[in-house]
A and B are shown apart, each in its own frame.
Chain A
């Protein structure tokens, strides 16, 4: 019920990963596995759309942090977009809004990801 689902689309050179449902202790490892798989396969720009996520727990934040660090190591970009409602509230509560590259919309994120990576 409201299980996590992971979708994938492309917009130019950006791989958009759409997450929906709950991301908790039982499913955070699936998110981590998918993002690290994409980075290992050579993706240089990944956008994670959280617009359809019901909520995240600390396990999910850890997965996103690990993927963000992995992206940095591989000179890739990883950004998040569409944080709304409960999801944004949890980012705020955890003091995590400054830890990730966060954009209000897909359009804004895609524009940013199209720019050359700053060191």
Chain B
């Protein structure tokens, strides 16, 4: 069960940073991406994300994620081409204005999605939750809800594929080549998936309560997450990144 956003163990500086510093770094890259309006900066920020990924040894996984994101980006580009019509006409409905704004939207989409995924790849979910509770004073129940939801993405995708296998074996044509037909066939499966997930949620709530969930305070965590010099250095870089986005 290897999902794309699984934690990849490692000992690089990126792994060792305080989870909050990592989150800030991702947020800074994202903010800068939104602010940036030149190809140079947009591509530069993407390159930065990939460089960090390569340093932490997860570039391969990031690239795998591109396989999912690129088709999405292409759809975005097509929509932009249709709706944004300005400048010279290049071919058919394609205009220079549409092409520029479309390609930038594509780059922003990648630039927003990848840094967050990168953080999840180099941070254990529990650390992320505990650090957010300790440093950012996020209430633990929200942190727990968030990490549990993320943790169950692979569990549910496994459940979904088991359900699809069972339905295929009954004769439902999931092996059809028509993607729309496949989508239509998949809709009824939401019922079994929903039934099992509601049951699960209830069981998790019970299990957590039986292990003292309501007694937990900000000081409970065994591991401590202080911000040390390297974290402050990264936070300074974050400010610089955002500034760069504003200026450039």
Q: Check if A and B associate.
A: no
Residues of chain B touching chain A, judged by Cβ–Cβ distance below 8 Å, are none
Residues of chain A touching chain B, judged by Cβ–Cβ distance below 8 Å, are none
